[in-house]
Structure 1
Amino acid sequence: MNDRLPAAAAANLTYFAFASAATPAAPRGTARPVGALPELLGGRYRIERLLGVGGMGAVYRARDLLREQFGDPEPWVALKTLSDDCADYPDAHALLYSEFALTARVNHRHVVRLFNFEVDSASQRAFITLELLKGPTLDQLLDERPGGLPWAELRDIAVPLLEAVAHAHSLGVLHGDLKPGNLLLAADGLRLFDFGLGQAVAGRLPGLPRLCRERITAWTPRYAAAELLDGAPLAAAADVYALGCLLFELCSGSHPFGRLDARQAREQALDCQLQRPANLPTHCWPALRTALALDPIQRRIDVAGLLAAFRAPTQSWLRRWLRPVPG
C-alpha cells in the first residue's frame, strides 16, 4: 500500500479521477467547469443540510445510502466539498485532496476521522466524507463562558489539543488554521478538524504534491502569526503562535491582543504587556508567554514544550508552603 506509482502512471491519475469513462480527455491546458452541487453525490451520498461554511469549503450532513441499504442504524456522514467560488480555481481539487491526505496521515484520536476522497463524475465535484460529529465548537463554548474556563476544564481541552498537534508535527504535518472554530467537543472527546490550509513540512511526506499556495491568503487574522501575515511560508512556529492565542483565550475569555492581528500588536509591542490569566497556573505561564511572542525568533518553544507545561501537575498552596527552604 505504501509503494509509489511510477511517474507515468501517476501522471494519469488526475484525469482518471475527474473523468467519466465515456468522456474523452479534455485538451491539455483546459479545465471542465464544475457543476452545481447535486442532491446525490457519487450515486451514494444524499445531501440533507448544510452544517457550516469555511474559507474554501462547505460541510454538509449526508446520508450514505449504501450503509443504509446494509442496515447501518447510523448511516450519516459529514461531506466536505469546495464552495462554488473556489471549485473552478486551478488546482482547487488538488488542494482538497491535500487536505484529505494530510488529515488521514495524522490518524489521532483527537483529530476528525476521514473516510474517503471521491469525485462525482456527473458534476465533477470532488468531496471528502468524514465522521459526523455532534457537540459545540470551542468558539460556541467561549460565547457561553465569557470569563474563560477554570483550570480543570481548560486542562481537559488543552492537553488533547496539544497532543493532537504535537503528533501531527512529529509526522511533518502543519495545520495552518488553529482557532476555536476548528475544534469541537464531541461526546467522546475533543476533535481537531479542517486541515484545508495545512501542508507538509519541506522534505517530509515526499509522496504528496507540492502545491503552490502563494495565492491562498486565507489565514484567520486573529490567530495568524505576524510572519504569515507578512507573507512568510507556513512553519511549525506559526501553529505554536495560534495555539498560544487559543489557549490564552480559553483560560481568560479574551484574545491576548483583543481585536488586533499580530502585525498590529507587534507595532504596539503588546506582547510585552501580557499578564498571566487568573485561571492559568503559574507553572504554565512561561511556556504560554513564549508561544505568544510576536517575533518568531523569540518564540523558542514547540508544541511538545507547551504540552509538557500543561501536563505538569499543579502544586497546591499547602505543598508550596510546606516546601523546605534551602539552607
Structure 2
Amino acid sequence: MEQLGPADPRQVGPYALVGRLGAGGMGAVYLGRSAGGRTVAVKVVRPELAGDPGFRARFRQEVAAARRVSGAFTAPVVDADPEAVTPWMATAFVVGVPLQEAVARHGPLPEGTVRTLAAGLAEALHEVHRAGLIHRDLKPGNVLLALDGPHVIDFGISRAADGTGLTTTGSVIGSAPYMSPEQALGEPLAPASDVFALGSTVAYAALGRHLFGEGAAAAVLFRVVNTEPDLSGLPDGLRYLVGACLARNPVHRPAPRQLVELVERIGRPDTAGGWLPQAVTADVLAMRGVLTAAPEPSERPESPEPPESPAYPPPAYPPPAYTPPPADAPPRQPPRRRLPRRRVLLAIGGGVLTAAGAATTVALLREQDVHEQDVRDVHAPPGAAATTGATTTRPAVASVPEASLAWKVNLPSACPQLLSAPGVTACIGLGHIWGVDDAGHTKWTADAGYAMGGMPRNFSALGGDRLYTVGMAMVGAAPRSELVSVNPADGSVDWRLQQDHPHAVGELLFAGVRAGRAYLIGLGDGADRGIADTGFHVWAVDLAGRRTAWLHGDQAQLLELALLPGDDHAALSTQDTLKMLDAKGEVAWERRMPSLGLTAAGGHYLVPDAVRGTLTALDPATGNPTWTTDGVIGASLRGDGFAASADGGTVHCLMKDADGGVSVAALDTGNGRPRHRTPLPPDPPDAAYLGARLLLADGNLYRMGPDTVLWALDPADGKPRWKYSGLKGKDPTTLAWTAGDGRLCVSDPSTSTVTALHANGA
C-alpha cells in the first residue's frame, strides 16, 4: 500500500482513505475506513473519465451488476455513488492472497486445498450466474485465498447473461490462458464459459503452470482453440473434474452446482486445521496484522521514502515523458520501485489489496504485466519522435472530415475474411463465398470456403487472376483438406485439389500466394505415429501443376508464414523460433526469437517484438539482423500491423509517443529509419491498444483505431484525409477488412454485415 500523494483524495463519501492500493485504466483503488471502523476497498474513477457520459453510464451499470452478486465466496459492494462528481464504489475488503501469487511464491497447492478451491469457486460462480451475470475473467489473479475460503473478485468486465454490456463496446475482454474457446473466437457467451475458466484456474493451482502454456496471448489463444491440454499431471479426481470443465462444447460442461456435488463425491477434504497450506496461511496472517496497524490518513503527504525492497507498483498515470539517453549510454533496465517493510507485507504478490476492490478491464493482448509496459517505454525511439518532452501536437479529431457510407449489405451468414478483386469484393463465409459488386449487390455465390470457427482468419488469398480458398472434403469416412480455385469475375470453380497426405488435415491459415505457389498452415505434421495426428505442417501447392510441391511437418506450434514477393522461400514462426524454409520445404536456417506479427518487405523479413517495442529486419539468406527500430507498436491478432509500399522500399507502422498517444511512421526498409513520423489524432482515453491494424491501397494508408474509427491517411506524410465513425463501438479485433479497387470494406461477423467506403471518402 502506498502513501497518499498530493493528487489523491483524503475522503470519499463516508470513508477516510488510508492509502492507495493500486491503479488501473478506470481509476485508483484505496483502502478506506468508515467512522465505525469498517475497512473497505474504494474504487475512485479518474476525473477525466467522470465527465464522459458514456463512461459514467458504464460505471453505473458496473455498480448495479456487482450489487447483484452476493455470497460467501465473493466480495460484495457495500456502498457506491455513481452519480457523484467523482464516481466511486466501495466493496467489502477481503484479507487474502491472490491464488496466482500464492502459487508463484510457494508452488502448487496440495490436492485437498485444490478440491476446496474448486468447490468454493463453483459456489461463487453459482451466485454470479444466479444474478444473471457472466464473470468473463475468472483467473488466478481474480481469486483471493482467505482464511475462510476462496473469494472471486473483480466484476468490472462481467456481462449480463441477457447480453447487456457493462464495459466499453468494442473492448476485447478476458485473459488468454483462461478464456474459453468460444470466448477466444469472439462468439456469444453463456455461463458455461466461466466453467471452462474455472477448470483452467483449478489446474493452475494444482500444477503450478498455465494449462495452455506461456507466451504471447495470440499463441496461447491458438492452443486454447485448437489443442487439447495435457491433464496427466493432475490427481485422478481432479483430472476428471478439470476435464469436464474443459469440454470443447459448452453444453457438455457441468453447472457450478454439479461441480460442488462432484467434489463431494471425490471426497470432502479435511479442513480441521485450516484449508490453506501453512506458508500461505502465514502470508494471510501477516497481511492481516499489518492492516490492523495501518495509519490514519495524514493532512499532508509524507516525503517519499528511500528504496528498500522490491515490489510491483501499478503503472503511473499519465505516463512520464521520455528523455533520450546519451548516445553512448548503456541500455537502461526498467525501474522497479521498492517499498518500505510494511508495504512489502501489503504488496505480497504485487496488488493483493488492489484485487479486492478494483474492477479492472483486461484487454486480450494485455496478459503481459506492468514490467512489459515499462520495457516499451524505455525503448521509445530517441530521435524520430514528433514530440517535445510530454507535449505532442496532434490534429483534433473534429478537424478531420467524416466520410460517407458507400453501401452496406447483410449477407446470409458471417464473413470472417474479405478480399478485394477488380469490380467485386469477395466475402468469404463459412462454406460459401459471395461476390458483391460496387453497388453492394450480390453478383455471384460460390459453394466453397471453410467451415471452422467464427474468428476472423485468412482462409483465402488472391493470386494472379484467381481467388484460392481452402475447404474440407470427405474421402470415405475421413476428412481431407482441399484447395479450391475460383474465378472472381463470375464465382465459377476452376478446380479442387485434395491434400494428399492422410496425416496432415485441417488447414488453419492461408498465408498467401507467391511465385506460383500457395502456402497454408494446418494441423498434423504428416507423420504416422499410430495415434491421432499431432503437430503442425506447412503445405506448399504448385498452382500451375495442381499438385503438392512439398509438405513441411513440425511438432512445434506454427503461427505465421511470411512470404517475399517473387520468392519461393518462406519464413515460419513458432512461439519463440523463426525458421527459413527453402524451395523444397527444408529448414535453411533457424533463429531463437519471438516473432508474432511476422511480415516481409523490401527484401527483408520484419520481426516485431511486442515486449520490447522493436522491429527488426532480418537478411533472408542468413537470418542475421540488418537493423532494429525501437518504439514500434506490434501487430494485432490478425497480423496486419505493418503495411508495405508496392515497391517494398517503405513499411508503415504505428509508434508510441511519450504522451501516451501514437504516431504513424514510414520506415525505410533499407535501414529502418523513419522517412516521416506524424502524430495521429488522440484516441479515447480508455482505449485499449491491442496492436496496430493498417492497410495500404488506392493511395491511402488506412488505420483501424482501438475504438474502431477508420482513418484514411496520406502515406506520404501521415496526415489524416478523412475518418469514418459509423463502426465506432464495434470490437476491432473481430472485424475483417480489405482495401483496393477504389474501396475499403469491413465485415462484422457478429452481424453478418459488410460496410463499404469509397477511397476518396465521398
Q: Which amino acid aligns with 2:74?
A: V
Instruction: Look up the match of 2:93.
Output: 132
Partner SS, residue 64 of structure 2: helix
After superposition, the CA RMSD in angstroms is 2.8
**What is the CA-CA distance between 1:194 and the residue it aligns to?**
0.8
C-alpha distance in 1, partners of 2:261/2:53?
Answer: 42
Distance across 1 between alignment mates of 2:181 and 2:241: 19
| Structure (1/2) with the larger helix percentage | 1
- Normalised to the residue count of structure 1, the TM-score between the two structures is 0.69
Q: Could you tell me how far apart the structure 1 residues matched to 2:52 and 2:233 are?
A: 44
Match of 2:241, SS?
Answer: helix
Shift of 1:55: 5.4
Report how far residue 47 of structure 1 moved. 2.4
Deviation (angstroms), 1:89 = 4.9
Give the structure with the higher percent strand.
Answer: 2
Matched, 1:142 2:103: yes
Match of 1:78 in 2: 41
Looking at structure 1, the residues matched to 48 and 113 of structure 2 have their Cα atoms a distance apart, in angstroms, of 39
Partner of 1:41: 12
Which residue pairs with 2:323 in the alignment?
none
Give a deviation string over 1:58-83, Cα, whole Å, max 9, x none: 3210232xxx2xxx3x2432101335
**1:232 equivalenced with 2:202 (yes/no):** no
**CA distance in 2 between partners of 1:178 and 1:54 (Å):** 18
2:256 is the counterpart of 1:303: yes
Counterpart code for 2:10: E
Identify which of 58, 63, 73 aligns with 1:110: 73
Match of 2:22 in 1: 52
Number of matched residues? 259
In 2, are the aligned partners of 1:137 and 1:184 still within 8 Å (CA)? yes
Which structure ranks higher in relative contact order (CA pairs < 8 Å, sequence separation ≥ 6)? Answer: 1
Give the aligned partner of residue 220 of structure 1. 175
How far residue 57 of structure 1 moved from its aligned partner, in angstroms, is: 4.6
Q: Where does residue 263 of structure 1 map in the other structure?
A: 221
CA contact (8 A) 2:246 2:253 kept: no
TM-superposed CA distance for 1:313, in Å, is 3.3
The 1:136/1:210 distance shift into structure 2, 3 A limit, reads: closer
Secondary structure, in 3 states, of the residue corresponding to 2:87? strand
Out of 145, 169, 185, the residue aligned to residue 145 of structure 2 is 185
CA contact (8 A) 1:50 1:61 kept: yes
How far the C-alpha of 1:198 sits from its partner, in A, is 0.8
SS of the residue 2:32 aligns to: strand
Determine the C-alpha separation between the residues in 2 that align with 1:211 and 1:257.
28
AA partner of residue 52 (structure 1): G
1:286 maps to: 240
Work out whether residues 291 and 301 of structure 1, in 8 Å CA contact, stay in contact via their aligned partners in 2: yes
The amino acid that maps onto 1:263 is L
Which residue of the partner structure matches residue 194 of structure 1? 154
d(CA) in 2 for partners of 1:220, 1:116: 28
Is the alpha carbon distance of 1:199 and 1:253 closer, same or farther for their aligned partners in structure 2, counting shifts above 3 Å?
same
User: Does the CA-based 8 Å contact 1:58-1:80 persist in structure 2?
Assistant: yes
Q: CA deviation at 1:182?
A: 1.3
Match of 2:204 in 1: 249
Q: Is the partner of 1:59 in helix, strand or coil?
A: strand
Q: CA separation in 1, counterparts of 2:50 and 2:181? A: 29
Does the alignment pair 1:276 with 2:239?
Answer: no
Gaps of 5+ in 2: 1-6, 269-762
User: 1:162/1:76 Cα in 2 relative to 1: closer, same or farther (>3 Å)?
Assistant: same
Structure 1's 166 and 276: CA in aligned 2 closer, same or farther, altered over 3 A?
Answer: farther
**One-letter amino acid matched to 1:223:** Y
Q: Secondary structure at the match of 1:125?
A: coil
1:152 to 112, 121, 126: 112
Cα deviation digits, residues 183-242 of structure 1 (max 9, x gap): 212333322111111122118xxxxx6557432223222212232233224421221121
Cα distance change on mapping 1:211 and 1:157 into 2, 3 Å: closer
For residues 202 and 85 of structure 1, do their structure 2 counterparts lie closer, same or farther at Cα, with a shift above 3 Å needed? same
Q: What are the superposed Cα offsets for residues 101-151 of structure 1, whole Å, 9 maximum, x if unpaired?
A: 222222201111321111474xx21111122222211111111232x1111
Q: Could you say which residue in structure 2 is the equivalent of 1:33?
A: none
Instruction: Give the CA deviation at 1:158.
Output: 1.8
User: How far does residue 41 in structure 1 lie from its aligned partner after superposition?
Assistant: 2.2
Deviations 1:145-200 (A, max 9, x none): 32x11111112222111111123213322111101111212333322111111122
Q: In 2, distance between residues paired with 1:57 and 1:194?
A: 14
Percent identity of equivalent pairs = 28
| Counterpart contact for 1:37–1:125, Cα < 8 Å | no
83-92 vs 95-104, which moves further: 83-92
Q: Secondary structure at the match of 1:139?
A: helix
What is the one-letter code of the residue matched to 1:106? V
Q: Residue 31 of structure 2 corresponds to which residue in structure 1?
A: 61
Q: CA deviation at 1:248?
A: 0.5
Q: Is the contact made by 2:177 and 2:211 (CA closer than 8 Å) also made in structure 1?
A: no
Measured at CA, do residues 38 and 227 of structure 1 come closer, stay the same or move farther in structure 2, by a change above 3 Å? Answer: same
Q: Which runs of 5+ in 1 are unaligned?
A: 1-35, 204-208, 316-327
Partner of 1:324: none
Query: Displacement, 1:274?
Result: 1.6
**Cα deviation digits, residues 269-303 of structure 1 (max 9, x gap):** 431x522334x3x234233113224x445753332
Alignment match, 1:206:
none
Kept in 2, the 8 Å contact 1:292–1:299? The answer is no
Q: CA 1:120–1:169 in 2, change beyond 3 Å: closer, same or farther?
A: closer
**What residue identity is the alignment partner of 1:39?**
R
> How far apart, in 1, do the equivalents of 2:171 and 2:53 lie?
12
Q: SS state of the match for residue 248, structure 1?
A: helix
TM-score, scaled to structure 2: 0.32
2:233 and 2:205 mapped to 1: Cα distance?
10
Check if 1:98 corresponds to 2:61: yes
Residues in 2 aligned to 1:181 and 1:85: alpha-carbon distance in whole angstroms: 28
Question: SS in structure 1 opposite 2:97?
Answer: coil
